[in-house]
Amino acid sequence: VGNASGTINYVRKRPKNETSGEVSVSAGSYNFMRAQADVSVVLTDDDKWAGRFVAAVEDKESYLNGLENDRQFIYAVVDGQISDYATIAAGYSYQDANTDGNTWGGLVFNYDDGTQAEWDTSDSTTQEWTYWDTTIEQAFVELNYIFANSWQLQASYNKRNSTEDDKLFYAYGAINKDTGLGLQGWPGRFGGKLESDLVELKLRGVVDMFGLDHEFNLGVSAAKSTDVLHQYAFDSATTPALGPTPAFPYALDAIPEPEWGDQFVYSEIDQTLYRFYGSAKISFTENLFTVVGFNAIAYERSGNNSGAEIDNDESEISPYAALTYAITDDVRTYISYSDVYQPQEQYSIDRQFLAPTKGENYETGVKIELFDDRLLFTAAYFIAEQNNLAAYGGTDENFQYWYYGVDVESKGVELELVGKVTDDLNVSIGYAKIDVEDMQGNDANTWAPRDSVNFSVDYTLLSKLTLGLGGRWQSEVSNVDYNVSQDSYLLLNGFVQWQITDALSAKANINNITDEKYITSLHTIGYYAAPANGSVTVSYNF
């Protein structure tokens, strides 16, 4: 779509040019167990066809009372050369994930006297009859063709199907500090199926003009999805799970499971997205170039959501441009502009999708290479204006989340230093400071930390043993809608890796070394993060 906040480059594993692989097993805190295998095989004598197979199985309990997870995953892909200029790849993946004792929402941190509650890290509002099971199937085929002038054409088709089946329990309200009473319960059972298809065609290449190279990209795609969500009825007059709960924290079997009734369609949404995009990197000199581009979409959404008819038809062209200049071989500056256009998945109180977020994003910065390119220092300043950005409004009569649009302006600075201090010492440290205000100049999104630091450092001894330490610090945050705050905190994680032989290695990780107690999120829901925990992994390459 058209959001400058960031992108994820999703790259599937492809076969290697040799028969090889890796197997590993892991074990850790809360009965965590995992085994996985990743094998590449050359399929033909001429080395033009190869395959790769990945499988993983995982089972674990949790520090949260009642929570357990297991999942199984397989992935297979075949990649081959069908001519001197063309290759084709096809793959399929399947994941079956099952969660028992999950929450629907988070802990309630409010006492009825207005003060903030504090619980044990393991406390949860769940019940033992809750679960959330999902399956995800994905398949793809991709054709690449390289022309004589080195331009490349890529055509791809992606298919994704997913299903869900879940029983949930939601607890809300304010708790009496003396009695533990005050919460209300709301059960729900749901099932759903999502089917989506994506077809994409991309062309990219380099043109030599005026003695300089210029890069061009063009693409067009069409995506269609159907999302159907079912809900199960229950008799509100005979369901103990609906109404006051026992004193919190309560036992995992304190509230009986409802007698579920008939299944009915809660929502059914069809979405279609057509996209045409392009970009060009045009060099003026060897030190000065510009990047210009656009992203044009046509977006259609229709169906029914909890009795509300949905009929959206949106289109937008989002341009972007940047200019970068190399002051020296080691110092480069840049300035950029991008249009913001983001269709939203959040609903208003009347179960209609919110209108798209629109706005503008500006950024300027410098990148400096230090000590013969061993270290890279970056500094950036940005301003982002977003109109109609989704903000949490609460829950409706069916305890579904609803949102409303707000206008916000974000300003911030980001600093980062990353690289190799020596051949054996790697460092990465980053600092970010942001300021978010609404159009009246008041602080907005106070659940987002205004100051944060991320860092990691690792050192290798005698080419065999690597020690690493990383962490994150963030300033205090709050959410006035929930009357909840979180003090600043420092989170530390560490690892030790031993390369026993060229093929065999072992690695031990410990997370939250100082056993810091903090709430995971104040955005919409939250619970306490995991206390100190660890795992050990042994890997063998062949």
- The predicted-structure confidence for 105-133, as pLDDT tens digits, reads as follows 899 999 999 999 999 999 999 999 999 99
Query: Is 461 exposed, middle or buried, given 0-12, 13-18 or 19+ CB atoms closer than 10 A?
Result: exposed
Q: In the structure, what pLDDT confidence band is assigned to residue 288 with cuts at 50, 70 and 90?
A: very high
Residue 398 — very low, low, confident or very high, per pLDDT cuts 50/70/90? low
Classify residue 71 as left (phi > 0), alpha (psi -120 to 50) or beta: beta
CA–CA gap between residue 201 and residue 277 (Å, rounded):
11
Q: Which residues does 539 contact at the CB level (< 8 Å), separation at least 6?
A: 22, 23, 24, 504, 505, 506, 507
Q: What is the arithmetic mean of pLDDT over 303-319?
A: 89
128: left (phi over 0), alpha (psi -120 to 50) or beta: alpha
The answer to whether 104 and 172 have CB atoms below 8 angstroms apart is no
8 A C-beta contact, residue 513 and residue 492: yes
Between CA 271 and CA 224 the distance in angstroms is 6
pLDDT at 346: 84
Is 70 exceeded by the pLDDT of residue 386? yes
CA 67 to chain centre: 21
pLDDT band of residue 2 (cuts 50, 70, 90) is: low
**Percent of the chain topping pLDDT 90:** 83
Render pLDDT for 177-203 as a digit per residue (tens, 0 to 9).
999 999 999 999 999 999 999 999 999
What the block records as the tokens of 329 is 């071989």
What is the secondary structure of 178-234 as a DSSP string? Answer: TT---EEEEEEEEEEEEEEEEEEEEEEEEEEETTEEEEEEEEEEEEEEEEEEEEEEE
- Alpha helix stretches (DSSP H) within 307-397: none
Rg (CA), the chain: 26
Closest CA to 455 of 486, 493, 488: 493
List, for residues 259-283, the tens digit of each pLDDT value. Answer: 999 999 989 999 999 999 999 999 9
Per-residue pLDDT band for 39 (boundaries 50, 70, 90) equals very high
Residue type, 513: I
- The answer to whether residue 78 scores a pLDDT higher than 90 is yes
Q: What is the pLDDT of residue 5?
A: 64
Take residue 511 and report the two structure tokens written for it.
Answer: 């997370």
What pLDDT is stored for residue 10 in this prediction?
79
At residue 11 the predicted structure's pLDDT band, cuts being 50, 70 and 90, is confident
Residue 464 and residue 501: Cα distance in Å, rounded? 9
pLDDT for 323 equals 97
**427, 419 Cβ separation under 8 angstroms:** yes
Per-residue pLDDT of 333-351, as tens digits, reads: 999 999 988 888 888 888 7
Residue 309 confidence (pLDDT) above 70: yes
Q: How far apart are CA 384 and CA 368, in angstroms?
A: 24
**Given this model, what pLDDT does residue 65 score?**
97
pLDDT for 524 equals 76
**Secondary structure of the chain: what % helix, strand, coil (to 5)?**
0, 65, 35
Pick from 310, 208, 200: nearest CA to 266: 310
> Which of the four pLDDT bands, split at 50, 70 and 90, describes residue 401?
confident
For residue 115, give both structure tokens: 């003060």
Q: Could you tell me the pTM of the whole model?
A: 0.89
Look at residue 21 in the predicted model and tell me its pLDDT.
97
- Distance of alpha carbon 263 from alpha carbon 115, whole angstroms: 41
> How confident is residue 482, by pLDDT bands cut at 50, 70 and 90?
confident
Q: Give the pLDDT band (50/70/90) at residue 95.
A: very high
pLDDT value of residue 453: 98
Distance, CA of 535 to CA of 514 (rounded, Å):
16
Residue 237 in 3-state DSSP? helix
pLDDT tier at 38 (50, 70, 90 boundaries)?
A: very high
Q: For residue 111, what pLDDT is reported?
A: 95
Q: Which residues are within 8 A (CB) of 245 and not within 5 positions of it... i.e. 6 or more apart?
A: 171, 183, 184, 185, 254, 255
Contact between 390 and 403 under an 8 Å Cβ cutoff? The reply is yes
User: Residue 488: is its pLDDT beyond 70?
Assistant: yes
The answer to whether the beta carbons of residues 234 and 260 sit under 8 Å apart is yes
Strand partners of residue 207: 214
pLDDT bucket at 289, cuts 50 / 70 / 90: very high
Across 473-500, average pLDDT: 95
Question: How many whole angstroms separate alpha carbon 468 and alpha carbon 12?
Answer: 28
Alpha-carbon separation of residue 297 from 94, 113, 386, 512 (angstroms): 30, 50, 19, 43
Q: Residues 191, 167: contact at Cβ < 8 Å?
A: no
Question: In whole angstroms, what is the distance from residue 492 CA to residue 470 CA?
Answer: 6
Return the pLDDT at 344.
83
**365-381 burial, b if ≥16 CB within 10 A, otherwise e?**
bebbbeeeeeeebebbe
The more confident residue out of 510 and 6 is 510
First to last CA, the chain: 42
Listed residue (37, 39, 33) closest to 24, CA to CA: 37
> Residue with structure tokens 């994905």?
138
The CA distance from 7 to 468, in Å, is 28
State the Cα–Cα distance between residues 484 and 200, nearest whole angstrom.
45
Alpha-carbon torsion angle 505, 511, 514, 516, nearest 10: 180
Q: Tokens in use for 82? A: 């069908």
Gap between the Cα atoms of 385 and 359, Å rounded? 5
Angle at 301 between CA 297 and CA 306, to 5 degrees: 155
Which among 106, 345, 395 has a CA at the least distance from the CA of 229? 345
Asked if pLDDT for residue 163 goes beyond 70, the answer is yes
> What mean pLDDT do residues 143-157 have?
95
Q: Is the pLDDT of residue 312 over 80?
A: yes
**pLDDT one-digit tens code per residue, 495-515:** 999 999 999 999 999 999 999
In total, the chain counts a number of residues equal to 542
* Encoded tokens for 331: 């110092």
Query: Looking at residues 205-227, what average pLDDT do you find?
Result: 95
In tens, the pLDDT along 439-473 reads 888 999 999 999 999 999 999 998 899 999 999 99
Burial string for 304-331 (b: 16+ CB within 10 Å, else e) reads ebbeeebebeeebebebebbbebeeeee
Domain ranges of the chain: 329-444, 446-542
What is the C-alpha separation between 351 and 1, in angstroms, rounded?
23
Please state, rounded to an integer, the average pLDDT across all residues of the chain: 94
pLDDT > 80? residue 395:
no
- How confident is the model over 53-80, as a mean pLDDT? 98
